[in-house]
Amino acid sequence: MNKNGNFEIEEVYLNDNKKINSIEKFLYKNDLKLGEEIIKYLTFSVEGEIVATGAIAEGGIIKCVAIDPYYRGEGIVLKLFTELTHLCFDLGFKDLFVYTKPENERIFKDCGCFKIESSSDVILMENSKDLLSNYCNDLKDISKEIKGKKIGSVVLNADPFTLGHQFLIESAASLCDWLHVFVVKEDSAFFSYEDRFNLVKKGISHLDNVTLYEGSRYIISKATFPSYFLKSEKILDNNYAELDLKIFRHYIAPSLNITNRFVGTEPKSPITNKYNQEMKYWFEEAKMDYPKIKVSIIERKTINGEPISASRVRELFKNNEFDKLKLYVPKTTYNFLLENKKN
């Protein structure tokens, strides 16, 4: 704890229940709630009372920023943002995302942040004006030789790659002149990102009109769509879905001339199912200054009437039920799982 002007600045760890409770009450008064995957909170206090707070989430995401109305306009936002930025750098995060309310856009712009996208309740900004544009330019360079009127896309986690994923990609590729496939890059799945990506690469190697991409912070990540990684909650925050889908329609799709997005039916995942519904709205119905994207839902492949799912594969793998498991995955995935068989 140290002094900075009239404010007492403190880093609050998640195991400090008393102080976390005080932060929760302060956020509630400012129409906010405790964030997901927070590493630590930062508070500004005056005479023991919290007057401002912010938090750092996994991946260098600044969120839960709230300031007592009495102290707004006192330069406190810049002070708070500076302290949060220094804390991010100390934690090893340099490329930062900021979540705040839309009415705070100008304030954070003055702090050196740049808008990516917004919903009615949330605006997403980052501390660089070049990262997203550079990423999109890289995509354009990759795809500049690709020809065709119907350019498709698939985004998948593949934890691990199953016959269901393979069927989705094969079906989508057969309906397109070219297909772009993205593998969600967050390394918080059961299998590592490197293994997941390689299994997808091997499982679609027979297709000659597909380009495989690493995921990014701009496509279903903990920054744009954290609800996806909180499966136990079974709740989709519409703000996050809206941001993620707008980013895809605004930036990713134009960079690759994407006209279609393909998804599988989701009978067992409420979050993904709701996300797919939101996708149809934001890609096909919402009026925006960017071309519409056709959403095609492909019936999921089944085994004995049961939809193939990665969760079922993980269950069989954990239980060493390899005779059943081989029915659900391509040979390349099966060999990988066999090599990593648990004793």
For the segment 144-155, what is each residue's pLDDT rounded down to a tens digit? 889 899 999 999
For the segment 266-324, what is each residue's pLDDT rounded down to a tens digit? 877 777 788 889 999 999 999 988 999 999 999 999 998 889 999 999 999 999 999 99
The per-residue pLDDT of the chain, averaged, comes to 88
Per-residue pLDDT, 240: 81
Percent of the chain residues topping a pLDDT of 90:
62
113-122 average pLDDT score: 90
Q: Cα 96 to chain center, whole Å?
A: 14
For the segment 11-62, what is each residue's pLDDT rounded down to a tens digit? 999 999 999 999 999 999 988 888 778 999 999 999 889 999 999 998 889 9
Measure the CA angle with vertex 22, ends 17 and 25; round to 5°. 125
Residue 115: closest CA among 230, 243, 258: 243
For the segment 129-142, what is each residue's pLDDT rounded down to a tens digit? 999 999 999 999 98
Measure the CA angle with vertex 90, ends 84 and 94; round to 5°. 75
10: CB partners within 8 A, 6+ apart: 1, 19, 42, 43, 45
Per-residue pLDDT, 235: 40
- Decide if 8 contacts 193 (C-beta within 8 A): no
Flag the least confident range among 27-31, 72-76, 222-226: 222-226
Q: Cα 24 to chain center, whole Å?
A: 24
Instruction: List the domains of the chain with CATH numbers.
Output: 2-126 (3.40.630.30), 131-339 (3.40.50.620)
Per-residue pLDDT, 72: 79
